[in-house]
Amino acid sequence: MKILIRSTTLDGEPIPGSGETLQAADCLEVVELMRGQTPFTASRAPRDYMTEVLFGIEGGPTQPLPEEAAAAAAEFLTRLARHGLIEFLPDDKASDPWPERFLEALETVRLSGRTNMLDHPEVTRLTAEMGYPEVAAWLADHRREYAAFVLEGTRPLGKNFGDKEDPAPCADK
């Protein structure tokens, strides 16, 4: 199961085209991942977490969640989706870790020397500006995956990346 958790405005309204993806085996595992994202909610019991989140979104007394944990998690995610706060994504997207031109786009941005590759918003902006809109869209929705790639990467961002030498210094050097 894969979901996109939308970023929100200060008023709690979902921001289109924003968010972070989470992937887990089932609804209950997704809720556990969501609950663990901040130190303020990590220690709460899953049911308490879900009830508090729904109270904040729906206000007033909310319709109770089912007793069974998996059913409660499924209902919780369904209600978040109704409010536009999450989006269920097809699991087949998980098998393709990034867009086809992802490595080419990052290499182009890196070689330009216009930003530190750890500056996610700027890398996202530059990929769109440099002609890679599909990569920019992926980056906007996959901040965590991008950070993992840059920090732990499947390939180094250096001489061996694309078998090219470094013709331009990085902005952070």
pLDDT tens digits along 106-155: 999 999 999 999 999 999 999 999 999 999 999 998 888 888 788 876 54
Structure tokens, 119:
């500056």
Residues 11, 80 within the same domain: yes
Residue that terminates a domain, selected from 89, 120, 137: 89
Query: Distance between the two ends of the chain, CA-based, in angstroms?
Result: 40
Residues 8, 82 within the same domain: yes
Structure tokens, 129:
């500006």
pLDDT digits (tens, 9 = 90+) for 51-60: 999 998 888 7
Q: What's the pLDDT score for residue 164?
A: 45
Choice among 42-51, 59-68, 126-135, 164-173 with the minimum mean pLDDT? 164-173
Residues 63, 115 within the same domain: no
pLDDT-derived band at 99, boundaries 50, 70, 90: confident
Residues 78, 105 within the same domain: no
Q: Is 3 left (phi over 0), alpha (psi -120 to 50) or beta?
A: beta
Rounded CA separation 57/79 (Å): 10
Confirm if 110 and 159 have CB atoms less than 8 A apart.
no
Residue 170 within a domain: no
Range(s) of the domain holding residue 85: 2-89
How many domains does the chain divide into? Answer: 2
Residue 76 within a domain: yes
